[in-house]
Amino acid sequence: MENILTKIIEQKKVEVAKLKERGLDDSVMINIVRPSLVENLKTAKSMAVIAEIKRASPSKGDIKINVNPIEQALSYERGGAAAISVLTDEVFFKGSIADLRNVSEAIRIPRLCKDFIIDEIQIDRAHQAGATIILLIVAALSKERLHELYQYAKKKGLEVLTEVHDEAELERALELNAELIGINNRNLKTFKVDLAVTERLAKLLDPKRHIIISESGIKTKEDVMRVKDAGAKAVLVGETLMTASNLPHKMAELQMSI
């Protein structure tokens, strides 16, 4: 079975080389607030939902390709989302950095730049586009690169969501002293989703020191209850919210307020 992550990282190397050649413009967004997700989650009383703008994915194909990201993000914010995740990968997820920039201008809650980060220049670009959090996927990085990128992002005042899928990856996230840990329920080799991954890995974490975010495959209140019982403070939800026929109702359901 081919690993999609390997393919994506090869593509990212090409993109990073192009970005470096072209350079970033210096348009930092100034009229935006940069609230802290960590602080929000520490004080949150109910289950937090990080709502994702996801037009398409390698596992599902097109999800909602022509979504208006600003409208979608405003609905998420109105629905009580703790943060918005914006997929900025173009080739595999059909997103863009412009989506993140547009969303950042429109909302006042934290923004996660959801991409496959392998280089500092992508962190600079995410910051410029208004991200307050970046994702670092342990499986995509060497030990050294993971440390360097983590420190680099922290120095810029960004929060870091460190994503893991198994025990060995979790071990590496703990070496970083990562505070926000994303447990991805989706296996990137088989695309199989299993919430038991959150249950298994959450056991190895100290809820006083780590904030657990359960990612992928969350569809119902029962799913949320399951990962909440395992110790998750938040869920990261894409497809279910992108395709919900009654979004405010779905948001309320996943926050367990109905």
Ligand X SMILES: O=P(O)(O)OC[C@@H](O)[C@@H](O)c1c[nH]c2ccccc12
Catalytic residue among 85, 104, 214, 216: 216
- Window 28-57: contact mask with ligand X (x via CB under 6 A): ------------------------x-x---
Q: Which amino acid is at 25?
A: D
Catalytic residue at 114?
yes
CB nearer ligand X, residue 211 or residue 236 = 236
In a 13 Å sphere around the CA of 140, the CA atoms on its Cβ side amount to 22
Determine the interface stretch with ligand X among 9-17, 152-160, 197-205, 233-241 (rule: CB under 6 A).
233-241
- Contact pick of 238, 250, 253, 254 for ligand X (by CB under 6 A): 238
Determine the interface stretch with ligand X among 67-75, 97-105, 170-178, 214-222 (rule: CB under 6 A).
214-222
Q: Which of residues 67-126 bind ligand X (CB under 6 A)?
A: 114
Q: Which of residues 165-184 bind ligand X (CB under 6 A)?
A: 184
240 binds ligand X (CB under 6 A): yes
Rounded to 10 degrees, the C-alpha dihedral 211/92/144/157 comes to -50
Strand positions, DSSP E, 5-158: 48-53, 56-57, 61-62, 83-87, 111-114, 133-137
Quote the least distance from Cβ 125 to ligand X, whole Å: 16
CB nearer ligand X, residue 114 or residue 127 = 114
The rounded distance, in Å, linking the Cα atoms of 241 and 254 is 10
| Angle at alpha carbon of residue 238, lines to 243 and 115, rounded to 5° | 135
Which H or E run includes 21? helix 4-22
Q: For the purposes of burial, counting CB atoms within 10 Å of the CB of 97, is it exposed (0-12), middle (13-18) or buried (19 or more)?
A: buried
The count of other CB atoms within 10 Å of the CB of residue 228 is 19
CB nearer ligand X, residue 2 or residue 25 = 2
Q: Supply the DSSP symbol for 47.
A: -
Size of the site for ligand X (CB under 6 A): 15
Give me the residues that bind ligand X (CB under 6 A), please: 52, 54, 114, 137, 163, 184, 215-218, 236-240
Question: Active-site residue numbers?
Answer: 52, 54, 114, 163, 184, 215-216
